[in-house]
Amino acid sequence: MSAIADGLQAVTERISRAILAAGRAPHEVTLLAVSKTVDIARIREAHRCGQRAFGENYVQEALAKIDALRDLDLAWHFIGPIQSNKTRPLAEHFDWVHGIDRAKIAERLAAARPAGRPPLNVCIQLNVSGEASKSGVAPGDETELARVIAGLPQLRLRGLMAIPEPTDDAALLRARYGQVHAAYERLRAQGHALDTLSMGMSDDLDIAIAAGATMVRVGTAIFGARPKRKD
């Protein structure tokens, strides 16, 4: 097998073990392969191995890949910080946008979504670590943003996304992911038809799955170490 096939198999097996340990069903968690800085040939290889969902952080890099890989049945997720001036290409070319953290972004995405395409799947980003440098709404503030998104038919609110501050304190990490799950349940109780908790990466996906994650984002464990960007 190729290195990518080996990586995908190892990650899939780890996810399966975490699902089993959490007492959850296998179909409840999906893998989002983070392909930022990964070249087209390696994405094609991951596709040959059965991977279909890919996450990108940089708009221009992603657009080139989307164009070059139009012959494949891929779902493209934007998982990076969202700038107001980049909402049009996101709305036009992506299937999912994670990380909405303000009404202005939601409204701009909705206005730019092409009429012939299905609603754009979106997640609200929750900042559970309170980091000033990180995007996301504070726990409790997701209610108003969800209300705004629900009023935009060009968008479909799927759930929440979170990237807690890295820590070796497993108990603290469990508590932070617990906050995300609690916010998710609050929104569901308010009538929002959510099905997605996008949280957990290579270092902490086991804890995230135990806390209710339905989508984990993994890159390096699949594609190897990433080259540093020059920009």
Q: In the chain, what are the domains?
A: 3-223 (3.20.20.10)
Give the list of residues 6+ apart from residue 38 with CB closer than 8 angstroms, or none.
Answer: 219, 223, 226
Q: Which helix (H) or strand (E) holds 149?
A: helix 142-150
Per-residue pLDDT of 176-203, as tens digits, reads 999 999 999 999 999 999 999 999 998 8
Cα 213 to Cα 48, 100, 160, 185: the distances in Å are 26, 18, 10, 12
The Cα angle at residue 5 between residues 36 and 207, in degrees rounded to 5: 65
CB atoms within 10 A of CB 164: 24
pLDDT string in tens for the chain (231-residue length): 699 999 999 999 999 999 999 999 999 999 999 999 999 999 999 999 999 999 999 999 999 999 999 999 999 999 999 999 999 999 999 999 999 999 999 999 999 999 999 999 999 999 988 766 678 999 999 999 999 999 999 999 999 999 998 889 999 999 999 999 999 999 999 999 999 999 999 889 999 999 999 999 999 999 988 766 544
Cα 12 to Cα 8, 17, 31, 205, 215: the distances in Å are 6, 9, 8, 11, 12
Strands (E), 24-105: 30-34, 53-56, 75-78, 96-100
* Residue 222 tokens, joined: 């699949």
Q: What is the pLDDT of residue 182?
A: 96
